[in-house]
C-alpha cells in the first residue's frame, strides 16, 4: 500500500505516515523466506525513508508519555463510508461515539468473560465493523485476537483448529466460503460459542446451513459507518428471529419513517430505518448539505428500507437507492436474492435493475455456483417463478465464477449493475 499512500499524502498535506511490513509479525524462518517469495512475484516494495515516514516498530519502543487533553465530543477519526451507493464521504466519529458503541457491543453479550475469550480477527481493522466489534471491543475485554491478514478459508480453518476461538465476526460471504470448503468437515468447531454476521444481509438459507453443519449459533446484526457502526443485533443467547437484524442495542432508538416526509410509520409497514443514540456521528466532514440530509433532530436516516414487527424486531428490506421499479411496482433485490439462495446450486447471488423501454426497469440476477454444481439459467428462473410474483422474477440470470466484493467481502451490486448496463450499451 505504501506506493499508493505516499503520493496521496503529498497531495493532501498529511504530515506523518507510519509504515510496517507483514514480515514483522512472522516467525523467524518465515521472516527470512517471505521477502524471497515477494521478490519472485514482483511484490517487493522499497520504502523511500525520509522525513515524515516512521517505522511502526520504532514507535512501539518505550518513550515518555505526555498527557493529552481529550474531550468526549472531539473528533476521534474520519471514517470513510464504503461508497457502495455513491461518492465516499468521511463520517466524523467522536471519542464518545466510539466508546459508546464499544460499551453497547460488550453489554450485548453478557456471557463473554473478560480476559478469557479468543476471537477470530478476520475482518480488516480499517473497516468500522472490524475496528469496533473486533479490535476495540476485544481490547476492552482483554480478548485474545487471532489475526488473519486476509480472508482465506484454508488459513481461517487452520487457525480455528490451532487456536480454538470462542467468537467469530464475519460477513455472509465468509460463512458461504467456509461452508463450501472441504476442510470444514474435519475442523472441530465446538469452541466457537457464537458467530456474528454483519455488513450485508444474511440469507436465511446460509444461516440454517451453517448452524446445521457446525452446531454453532449464527446471528445477524446491522450497522453503518455513520453509527460507529452497530445499532441492531439479534440476541446472541436469547430469542431471535431468522431473517431479522434484531432489536436496537442499549441506549439506541430506532423507528421506521416515511422516506419522503420522515414521519413515523406503524409496525408492519415498509419505510426508511432511522436511528438515534450516542454512537451516531457528528456529521460528514465538510459536507453540511449531506449532513443536513442524513441527520434530522438527532435521528440518522440510514438510507435502508426496513420494517418493524409487533415484537420490535427489525427486518431490512433493501437500500432505498437500490429498489427496482418494474412498471410502477417495487422490487427489493434482497427478496429475490433470498429465493435464489434457496436453490441448492447457488453459492452467491445479487440482483440489480436494468433499463427497460416498456416497464422502466427489469430484474436481472447474477449468481456464483457451489463447487461442482451445475444449473441452467432457465432452471433458476423457473425456481424463482415458484416463489415470487411474476413482476419480481428475473428476466435474465448470469452465472459467474465469483461476484465482485468490497475489501470486507460485501457483494457490490453497484459494480454488477454498471457492468451489465455497459454491456447492454455495447450491444
Cell reading at 395? 428476466
Beta bridge pairs of residue 396: 364
406 vs 127: CA distance, rounded Å: 11
Nearest-Å Rg of the Cα atoms of the chain is 23
* pTM reported for the whole predicted model: 0.82
pLDDT value, residue 44? 64
Q: What is the pLDDT of residue 38?
A: 63
pLDDT of residue 425: 58
pLDDT for position 84: 34
Strands of 88-217 (E only): list them.
90-94, 118-121, 144-147, 167-170, 194-197
Burial class (CB in 10 A: 0-12, 13-18, 19+), 246: buried
Give the DSSP H/E element, type plus range, for residue 420.
helix 413-426
Residues of the chain predicted below pLDDT 70: 1, 37-45, 82-87, 425-427
Cα separation, 296 vs 276, whole angstroms:
10
**What pLDDT digit, counting tens, does each position of 137-169 carry?**
999 999 999 999 889 999 999 999 999 999 999
- Please tell me the distance from the alpha carbon of residue 51 to that of residue 387, in angstroms, as a whole number: 63
**What are the tens digits of pLDDT across the range 209-220?**
999 988 889 999
Residue 232 confidence (pLDDT): 98
**How far apart, in whole angstroms, are the C-alpha atoms of residue 87 and residue 167?**
34
**What pLDDT, on the 0 to 100 scale, is given for residue 271?**
94
Confidence at residue 323, expressed as pLDDT on a 0 to 100 scale: 87
**CA 333-334-336 angle, 5° bins:** 70
* C-alpha cell read off for 226: 455513520
| DSSP secondary structure of 255-300 | EEE-TTT--B--TT--EEEEEESTTS-SEETT-HHHHHHHEETTEE
Residue 32, SS3? helix
Domains and CATH numbers, the chain: 2-59 (no CATH), 87-319 (3.40.50.12780), 324-426 (3.30.300.30)
- 124 beta partners: none
CA distance 352 to 417: 6
Predicted confidence at residue 427, as pLDDT, reads 45
Half-sphere exposure of 170 (CA within 13 A, CB side): 26
Q: Count CB atoms within 10 A of the CB of residue 296.
A: 13
Residue 103 CA, chain-centre distance (Å), reads: 20
- Could you tell me if 367 and 404 are in contact, meaning their C-beta atoms sit under 8 angstroms apart? no
CB 151, CB 407: distance < 8 Å: no
Rounded to an integer, what distance in angstroms lies between the CA atom of residue 379 and that of residue 246? 34
pLDDT at position 274: 97
Amino acid at each position: 500500500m505504501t506506493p499508493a499512500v505516499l503520493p496521496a499524502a503529498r497531495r493532501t498535506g498529511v504530515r506523518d505516515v507510519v509504515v510496517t511490513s507483514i514480515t514483522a509479525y512472522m516467525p523467524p524462518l518465515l521472516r527470512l523466506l517471505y521477502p524471497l517469495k515477494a521478490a519472485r512475484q514482483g511484490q517487493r516494495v522499497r520504502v523511500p525513508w525520509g522525513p515524515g515516514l516512521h517505522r511502526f516498530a520504532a514507535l512501539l519502543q518505550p518513550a515518555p508519555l505526555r498527557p493529552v487533553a481529550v474531550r468526549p465530543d472531539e473528533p476521534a477519526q474520519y471514517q470513510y463510508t464504503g461508497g457502495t451507493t455513491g461518492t465516499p464521504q468521511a463520517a466524523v466519529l467522536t471519542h464518545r461515539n466510539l466508546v459508546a458503541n464499544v460499551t453497547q457491543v460488550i453489554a450485548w453479550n453478557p456471557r463473554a468473560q473478560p480476559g478469557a475469550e479468543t476471537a477470530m480477527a478476520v475482518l480488516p481493522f480499517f473497516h468500522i465493523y472490524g475496528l469496533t466489534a473486533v479490535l476495540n471491543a476485544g481490547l476492552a475485554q482483554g480478548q485474545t485476537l487471532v489475526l488473519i491478514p486476509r480472508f482465506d478459508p484454508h488459513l481461517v480453518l487452520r487457525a480455528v483448529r490451532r487456536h480454538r476461538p470462542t467468537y467469530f465476526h464475519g460477513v455472509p460471504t465468509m460463512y458461504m466460503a467456509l461452508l463450501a470448503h472441504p476442510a470444514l468437515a474435519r475442523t472441530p468447531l465446538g469452541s466457537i460459542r457464537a458467530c456474528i454476521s454483519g455488513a450485508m444481509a444474511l440469507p436465511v438459507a446460509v444461516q440454517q446451513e451453517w448452524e446445521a453443519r457446525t452446531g454453532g449459533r449464527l446471528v445477524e446484526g446491522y450497522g453503518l459507518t455513520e453509527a460507529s457502526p452497530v445499532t441492531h443485533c439479534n440476541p446472541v443467547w436469547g430469542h431471535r428471529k431468522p431473517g431479522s437484524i434484531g432489536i436496537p442495542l442499549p441506549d439506541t432508538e430506532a423507528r421506521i419513517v416515511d422516506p419522503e416526509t420522515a414521519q413515523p410509520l406503524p409496525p408492519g409497514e415498509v419505510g426508511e430505518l432511522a436511528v438515534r443514540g450516542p454512537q451516531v456521528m457528528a456529521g460528514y466532514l465538510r459536507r453540511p448539505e449531506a449532513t443536513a440530509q442524513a441527520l434530522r433532530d438527532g435521528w440518522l436516516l440510514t438510507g435502508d428500507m426496513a420494517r418493524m414487527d409487533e415484537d420490535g424486531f427489525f427486518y431490512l428490506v433493501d437500500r432505498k437507492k437500490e429498489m427496482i421499479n418494474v412498471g410502477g411496482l417495487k422490487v427489493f433485490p434482497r427478496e429475490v436474492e433470498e429465493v435464489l439462495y434457496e436453490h441448492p446450486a447457488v453459492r452467491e447471488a445479487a440482483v440489480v435493475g436494468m433499463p427497460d423501454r416498456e416497464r422502466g426497469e427489469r430484474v436481472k440476477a447474477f449468481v456464483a455456483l457451489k463447487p461442482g454444481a451445475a444449473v441452467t439459467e432457465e432452471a433458476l428462473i423457473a425456481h424463482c417463478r415458484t416463489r415470487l410474483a411474476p413482476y419480481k422474477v428475473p428476466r435474465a440470470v448470469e452465472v459467474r465464477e465469483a461476484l465482485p466484493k468490497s475489501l470486507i467481502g460485501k457483494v457490490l451490486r453497484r459494480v454488477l449493475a454498471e457492468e451489465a448496463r455497459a454491456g447492454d450499451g455495447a450491444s
